Copies of this chain bind each other. A is one copy, B any other.
Amino acid sequence: MDGNVPLTQQTQQPSQEMADLPLSQETFHALWATLQNDVTSGSILQDPVQVNLQNYDFGTNVIQENQVEFQVEQIQMEPHIPNLSIIPSMPSLPSMPSLPNMNSEGSFLDQLNSALPPQAGTDQTPGHNMPSSTGYASATEPATSPPPSFSPPPNNQQLPSNVEYPGDYAFEINLGQPTSQAAKSVSWTYSPTLKKLFVDRDKPCPIQFKTTSAPPPNCFIRVLPIFKQAENLAEVVSRCPNHVGSPQDYSKDHLVLCSDPATMYYTDLQSARHSLVVPYTVPQVGTEFSKYLFTFKCFISCVGGLNRRKIQLVFTLENETGSILGRQVLDVRVCACPGRDRKTEEKSFEKSKAPQKKPLKRGPSKVTSVVGLTSFSKKAKKDEETFLIEVQGREKYELLMKIKESLDLMDCVAPNQISQYRQQQAQQQMRLNNHLPNGVPNLPRVSSFQSTPPPSTSQGNTFHPTLALNSTPPLNHAPSLNHSSPPLLNHSHSYQQQQTLQQPFTNLEPYPPSTSTSLERRNTMPCKDEADGPNMMEVDAIPTSQGFPVTRDLTLPNPCHTQNISPSQDPSIDCFLKRLGLRQHSDIFTQKNVHTVDQLEEINMEDLSSIPHQQREILWKAILELKGGLQLNHTPTMNRGNSSASTTSIHSSGGSMVGNQVYRATRFTLKQTLSFKVEKEDDDYKDDDDK
């Protein structure tokens, strides 16, 4: 096992209580509530914490390690201030007393409570304990930072959860009538034994969903692919260079597509993870399930992509504010011969659970569950000087005017409107082009909300016809993933500007667009806790581990950086390396917990010592370019602190802060890692002979 994650080791006995370990729904709930609190008042978590790890087949393996970490960090960034003020509230917790006595967590978190300084900014209303109704408003996941005291950085990623959780509505997935076997190259086949879907690349595959009772209106299903093996879990699942979509395409990096015309594709600004969201419609009368067609754009074997690593799909049923009502996980193998491979895997699975317990190869050896929350706030300043440019030649003039126009317009428009506009444009375009798989008729189902540059076009939201006026605008609160990445550092803006934005619903006329932050917005419509629509009750106790709202305020209108970065670029290290043709070396970054380009400050020359000379030069140059300001003068660069707070500083080259904004972010991370000895157990392809 080549886990890239530095971890302290703790040995423990084999455990059948696995299914009842830390980071359960209660954890989410408690954390959520408490963190809300904290963001606004400095108080912290008192409730006991439990974790519920499912979906990993531990077999009879021996636990080798069981570690829990908790961290609270606060970052504040302002223009023209030469140093990032990182306020480590609680340095970190290297390891917890071994589980399952996770109730001790309560007292631990109590300690944290006192360690956390009162929030400096006060533009937030006091917190409350209703995760569903308040979560979206104050808890987002953008701003994260390296842990202030560790070095090398600990594994503090906000990893996606793969914990199955049917929830109050008994959310379930289904793959139709089980078949006992299938032709070698059927387009897809599901193995009930393995609980695994085998599907050909780019072939539509129906997946069905149901809930026992009707969930609140305007729910949607999010589909997020993750790597199954713990050592890859931190890596974003995205398409290989060979199968990436066209640059204009918001789903260009998405492994999974859905044929539903109302599908929205997201790329999380922080984690860079690619997920899709599709409105959940209750089953037609007489049918038990709601069916959706999905396609997968890469083989699991794709070089420079999945690269023969197992993946899972995480399906979350989320309400309109992004709270998670249920979660299901499905193992998937995208391959050219689903039938053959299913047979092979089932065969080897039979063998593996046969009495003699003969050793098999490569199994998942580590399981990590992480919950994290980050709150975030931001203000904008202005740049109002006037200049004149004299231009020779009409062509240049028109070109420049075009650029100027767009710059001006971007300034005029609320950042989230810009974001929204972009996302809408792109997705509308996609629809117009009938670009969705399986040729499902592409109705313009998303209403237009663009009071900005291009004139508003379509209307008619069939997606959320019942959107209640008293529900909070989810504009800034699309659920997304817990995957860490520093918030607003360095050149990340330019990327973020171009990224897909988190915003599943666009028909939000009840609420005017706003440039305020999520926290600020709470002042406008505070304490909806007790009145969050008809689904208040259900929503109350719902965890949001995977569904942290994200403020699109991160999308800054400052165009300075876009100059050097193509719209197709992705903030993930993966994509960064891809562009350099150095994908092979992603380990180096993963090891340092560097997952997006704005974390590149973490990387120094020595980290690259393991790679060949020439490649190192290329890489280092590219890193420097991203670190140290690109072509433009006055491009402020902020350095990301190393693991130690003392190294944190700003590389501002005399310029103003990007976008002239003030940012404050507080992040909380709770992580548990279980490590266990693998008895060589895995579905494997080799042992057919001795069957």
Tell me the A residues contacting B by CB distance below 8 Å: 239-247, 249, 252, 297, 302-304, 382-404, 407-408, 411, 433-439, 558-560, 563, 566, 568, 578-583, 613-614, 617-618, 621-622, 631-634, 656
Contacts and interface: CB of A to CB of B under 8 A. Distances in A.
A309 to B, nearest CB: 15
A396 B559 contact: yes
Most buried by B among A399, A435, A633: A399
A245 B394 CA distance: 36
Contacts of A386: 390-392
Nearest to A619: B246
A58 B399 CA distance: 57
Contacts of A247: 566, 579
A640 B396 CA distance: 26
A385 B392 contact: yes
Contact of A618 (B239, B249, B397): B249
A583 B239 CA distance: 14
A385 B389 contact: no
A580 B389 contact: no
B385 A388 contact: no
Nearest to A620: B433
Contacts of A387: 390-391, 394, 397, 401
Contacts of A241: 240-242, 244, 304
Contacts of A243: 581
A391 to B, nearest CB: 5
A621 B399 contact: no
Given A246-B581, A304-B242, A389 B392 contact: no
Contact of A391 (B389, B434, B436, B568): B389
A632 B583 contact: no
Nearest to A582: B246
A249 to B, nearest CB: 7
Nearest to A618: B246
Nearest to A297: B581
Contacts of A302: 303
A360 to B, nearest CB: 25
Contact of A244 (B434, B563, B581): B581
A245 B393 contact: no
Contact of A252 (B403, B407, B434, B581): B581
How many monomers of this chain does the complex have? Answer: 2
Contacts of A249: 618
A615 to B, nearest CB: 9
Give 3 nearest A-B pairs by CB, closest first.
A241-B241, A387-B397, A383-B393
Given A617-B433, A617-B434, A633-B398, A385 B393 contact: yes
Contact of A246 (B392, B568, B622): B622
25 contacts: A239-B581, A241-B304, A252-B581, A303-B303, A385-B392, A385-B397, A386-B390, A387-B391, A388-B390, A389-B391, A389-B400, A389-B404, A392-B411, A394-B634, A395-B560, A398-B634, A399-B632, A402-B632, A403-B563, A434-B613, A434-B617, A435-B614, A436-B614, A439-B614, A568-B579
A559 B632 CA distance: 18
Given A404-B389, A404-B391, A656-B395, A242 B240 contact: yes
A581 B257 CA distance: 15
Contacts of A389: 388-391, 397, 400-401, 404
A614 B441 CA distance: 11
A646 to B, nearest CB: 31
A256 to B, nearest CB: 15
A399 B403 CA distance: 10
A622 B435 CA distance: 12
A400 B402 contact: no
Nearest to A242: B304
A401 to B, nearest CB: 6
Contacts of A634: 394-395, 398
A563 B396 CA distance: 11
Nearest to A383: B393
Q: Which of A391, A408, A563, A632 has the most CB of B within 10 A?
A: A391
B618 A433 contact: yes
A407 B396 contact: yes
Nearest to A398: B634
A392 B400 contact: no
A246 to B, nearest CB: 4
Contact of A437 (B246, B252, B614): B614
Contacts of A559: 395-396, 399
Given A242-B583, A302-B303, A389-B391, 6 more contacts: A242-B304, A246-B622, A383-B396, A387-B390, A387-B401, A433-B618
Contacts of A433: 617-618, 621
Contacts of A434: 613-614, 617
Contacts of A439: 613-614
A187 to B, nearest CB: 13
Contacts of A621: 433
Given A241-B242, A245-B580, A403 B400 contact: yes
A203 to B, nearest CB: 11
Contacts of A402: 563, 631-633
A242 B581 contact: yes
A433 B632 CA distance: 21
Nearest to A244: B581
A585 to B, nearest CB: 13
Contacts of A401: 387, 389
A308 to B, nearest CB: 14
B558 A395 contact: yes
Given A407-B396, A408-B396, A618 B245 contact: yes
A399 B563 contact: yes
Contact of A568 (B242, B394, B396, B566): B566
